[in-house]
């Protein structure tokens, strides 16, 4: 799983632990099957725990809780993500500065042809 997707997934689960897999797939813009696969991968890594509970509709639902290891992983991914974005910002800033170089002054006494 890509680190960016893993970071988004951990962030969403931390903020919305009762989210359904269908809602999660919609929020992340991925298929329901991929959302399920990613959740299973995070459970296997020990980053989240899934607990069953009965919701209002007498159906079993899950609550996804970040483990201490999951919180640590999310913090590390957030730090890495921030560093990448900071580097990208600095590169873009240099490009913009290079584009904003002063223009050469227009040539004086330039003849303009008049047709007519």
Question: What tens-digit pLDDT sequence spans the chain (116 residues)?
Answer: 888 999 999 999 999 999 999 999 999 999 999 999 999 999 999 999 988 876 656 566 788 999 999 999 999 999 998 999 999 999 999 998 888 866 666 666 666 667 76
Are the beta carbons of 32 and 20 closer than 8 angstroms?
Answer: no
Q: What angle do CA 30, 31, 33 make, to 5 degrees?
A: 130
pTM, two decimals, is 0.68
Whole-number pLDDT of residue 103: 64
């Amino acid at each position: 799983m890509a680190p960016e997707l893993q970071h988004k997934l951990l962030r969403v689960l931390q903020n919305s632990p009762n989210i359904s897999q269908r809602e999660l797939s919609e929020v992340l813009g991925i298929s329901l099957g991929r959302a399920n696969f990613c959740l299973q991968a995070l459970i296997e890594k020990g980053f989240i725990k899934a607990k069953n509970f009965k919701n209002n509709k007498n159906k079993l639902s899950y609550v996804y809780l970040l483990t201490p290891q999951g919180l640590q992983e999310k913090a590390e991914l957030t730090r890495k993500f921030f560093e990448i974005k900071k580097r990208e910002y600095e590169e873009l800033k240099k490009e913009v500065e290079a584009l904003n170089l002063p223009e050469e002054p227009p040539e004086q006494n330039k003849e303009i042809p008049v047709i007519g």
